[in-house]
Chains A and B, each alone.
Chain A
Amino acid sequence: MSEALLTVKNLSVDFHTARGTVHAVRNVSWSVSRGETLAILGESGSGKSVSANAIMNLLDSPPAEIVSGEILYDGKDLLKISQEEHRALNGKKIAMIFQDPLGHLNPVYSVGWQIVEMMTAHGRPHDLAHKRALELIARVGIPEPEKAMRKYPHQFSGGQRQRLMIAMALMLKPDILIADEPTTALDVTIQAEVLALLKELQAETDMALVLISHDLGVVAEIADRIVVMNEGEIVESGTVREVYHEAKHPYTRKLIAAAPGKGEIKIPNRSSPILLSVEKLSKSYHSFHALRDASFTVARAQSLAIVGESGSGKSTLARTLLRLETADSGHVYWKGKDLLTMSARELLGVRREIQMVFQDPTQSLNPRMSVYELIAEGWDIHKLMPARQERRARVIELLEQVGLIAEHIDRYPHQFSGGQRQRIAIARALALEPELIICDEAVSALDVSIQAQVIALLDSLRQRLGISFIFIAHDLGVVRDFADTVIVMKAGEIVEMGPTAQIFEAPREPYTKKLLASNLDPDPDVQAKRRAMGIYA
């Protein structure tokens, strides 16, 4: 290995908050050399982004305070240099890309202007900057670079915006590129493309890449070395292969074990009665067909997964069959009755039997209601269980059922972690004793280890209470673990439908194959094999 280009030594950062001091990172040390990719892996709150922010001088102090340590680059300690020197380095020698490119591009300037500014801000002549911007926009694979320069951020797709961010970061040929969750907001097929692009560009320019991620698959795909962080400390480091196969720290082992997509595939039970039957359901917004002729059935205690990329119509499907949107045509039969033409009174009864768990519990739980009020609200609406004592007892029972405790009953949503909040949302859905629960990306926002717990919880509910699930997801690993039947959607249409084993092991449609191939496996050897087979080509 060549000499380290950037070294972080014994970095400790505290955050002084009104509730006391938080040790965000403690004694963190890592280094990265030219041409190397280092991945910093960790779940939310592990402090994985803090050291990168310290390098870029992005930590606000207060509340942050760098307690000890040094960051060495080019013989200088980046923690000691002036703001002025930082500005000269940032962007020019060390560049950074972020998770949300839309949030980091200014909506009122054309992207060309913004990319060119990157160079002119560092004192380069405008015509030179313009030329290089054109080159790079073409290089990152944006069609019609001349035209693209004049467009505005909202006119590009998420993947294209991330490509533009990469182009912007590479304008001044930086030595180091820090990528903070660069593909988390992207669809799997786009993610695979962006990662491949990053790899190619790294090989061309011989820069060092520091990748911050929570996703084992992404890390296995792109990284050479890896440091695993937990609660502000590095618990494990080594090459990707070492860490995956010979993890020493229990946390790392737990993390690898929690990665979805390894369990037994479930077999649908054909004998159970049909609960929900959707026939030729269509919905369009003006001339855009969000959903076209979707037909499928859900049986009792069945778990049906709907997979597809963003814009494929999977959420529209759920919203339409719940009458949150009005369908253009088609029928939804719930126990033989058409849900779409039902009267308000009949619909109220069905609302009790079909519940929904949303993607982000932070938003789907009213922040001003306590856990008790949240869970008991359904009983108010449907005028069930009037006695308060009885209600409290039942709420406690429900909380215990989803793995929370009685003391949580009078707390508010913000006092819980993301995983716990999703459990509250599930308890709320269970309160009305539903027969079908629709989960719209219900575990996508959760960390892998918590994701695994929630999936296990849902599965036990399915088995014990015989609840059916419609499980909308983009993460194929989770789907493989949970569903017994899978529907694959693309551009508003169902392209393939079948038992999970069939979809995963013998997919028929090219789109399903592409989707499966883009799904990154946490095992670096599997990834390497796939790459050798040229599956992404």
Chain B
Amino acid sequence: MPATITQAPTTASETKGPNLISMLWRDKFAFVSVIILLLILVSALIGPALLGDAATQQNLRGRNFPPFSFERGWLFYLGGDALGRSMLARLIVAAQSTIAIAAGTVAAAMVVGTILGLIAGYMGKVVSQVIMRLADVIMSFPSLLIAVVVLYVLGPSIPNMILVLAITRVPIYLRTARAEVLEVRERMFVQAAIVMGATHSRIIVKHILPVIAPTILTIATLDFAFVMLAESSLSFLGIGVQPPDITWGLMVSQGRPYLSSAWWLAFWPGLMIVIAALSLNLLSNWLRVALDPTQRWRLEARRTKSV
């Protein structure tokens, strides 16, 4: 017996503890996505300190300076905006507010929505009805209208924007989580846990949440792009991000009038939104597979032919 005990941990390190880095390397799309996301994160963290001045420095002679030339230095390689500011510097600086708003909103909506969804799905009819009707109220209100009213009252600021946008996005997570919980809680392994004497919180956290998490995470990554654009429309109305703060969404809406003459004003920030959303999506796709024991073999090196 002692022999098997001492042997057990070594076999554990072999078969368990999935090597995340090597699994990431196996999915090349996810690997590139992680690098891009890290770059965006780094620019968000140190961008404003490094390029804050360059991003606000106006140069009216360089208005709508066309991209792809080093004539005015590398900062203007992606062109200049309507006030002659460096597009590249602005994109990097804008990463901070953009990521803060989008990540804050998505995270808040996801956490609140999932918790409410778990409760609505798991608890009895009355609680579920109350939560669902509240969600219906939020959903039946045009989200922009709530935003306008609330931001007008509270005053435009980044935390207030996160609050407002999160409230409008909560029902999406809530409804999905609840629908999944209703299905999962009828599964046999949940019954098996009840028979063993598991408490409600244990069943929710250990048995239901891990099963519904991939769906929620996938929705969250898709929501990222949506939130960035919603934030830009608020900013466009003047109740969102206030200049000199910038976000990609705001840059898109500011560039819109110049689409026919200077396409790069809206194109580059738009491209950044697409790249960020796409990377997150690819990453979540990888994460879904990597976290699922029945799917994980797709990402693992084929040590043996048969498992």
Contacts and interface: CB of A to CB of B under 8 A. Distances in A.
Q: Do A and B come from one complex?
A: yes
A58 interface: no
A412 B293 contact: yes
A348 B206 CA distance: 18
B5 A363 contact: no
Interface string B160-191: 00000000000000000000000000011101
Given A367-B293, A406-B7, A412-B293, A351 B16 contact: no
Nearest to B211: A368
B307 A366 contact: no
A355 B194 CA distance: 10
B197 A19 contact: no
A532 interface: no
A366 B193 CA distance: 9
A201 B306 CA distance: 45
A69 interface: no
Contact of A412 (B7, B187, B199, B294): B294
A351 B8 CA distance: 30
A172 interface: no
B188 A411 contact: no
B188 A358 contact: yes
B297 A19 contact: yes
A359 B7 CA distance: 33
B288 interface: no
B11 interface: yes
B256 interface: no
B296 to A, nearest CB: 8
Contact of A19 (B192, B207, B307): B307
Interface string B200-226: 001000110011000000000000000
Contacts of A347: 197
A409 B5 CA distance: 11
Contacts, number: 99
Contacts of A158: none
Contact of B11 (A322, A324, A409): A409
Contacts of A356: 192, 195
A410 interface: yes
Interface stretch (A264-272, A287-295, A374-382): A374-382
Contacts of A428: 192, 196
Contacts of A366: 189, 193, 206-207, 210
A216 B202 CA distance: 44
A322 B294 contact: no
Contacts of B8: 392-393, 396, 406, 409
Contact of B196 (A370, A409, A432): A432
Interface string A348-363: 1001101110111001
Contact of B197 (A20, A351, A409): A351
Given A20-B306, A411-B15, A360 B188 contact: yes
Nearest to A412: B293
A414 B294 contact: yes
B305 interface: yes
Nearest to A373: B206
Of listed B194, B195, B297, B307, residue having the most chain A CB within 10 A: B195
Contacts of A367: 189, 292-294
A365 B197 CA distance: 15
A360 B189 CA distance: 10
Contacts of B194: 324
B267 to A, nearest CB: 40
Of listed B9, B187, B206, residue having the most chain A CB within 10 A: B206
A144 interface: no
B271 interface: no
A381 B189 contact: no
B193 A377 contact: yes
Contact of B298 (A18, A322, A396, A415): A18
B198 interface: yes
Closest 3 CB pairs of A and B: A351-B197, A363-B188, A412-B293
9 contacts: A324-B195, A348-B197, A363-B188, A364-B192, A365-B192, A368-B210, A381-B197, A381-B198, A414-B293
Given A360-B188, A382-B197, 13 more contacts: A19-B297, A19-B306, A20-B305, A322-B195, A324-B194, A355-B196, A358-B192, A363-B189, A366-B193, A381-B202, A406-B8, A406-B11, A410-B12
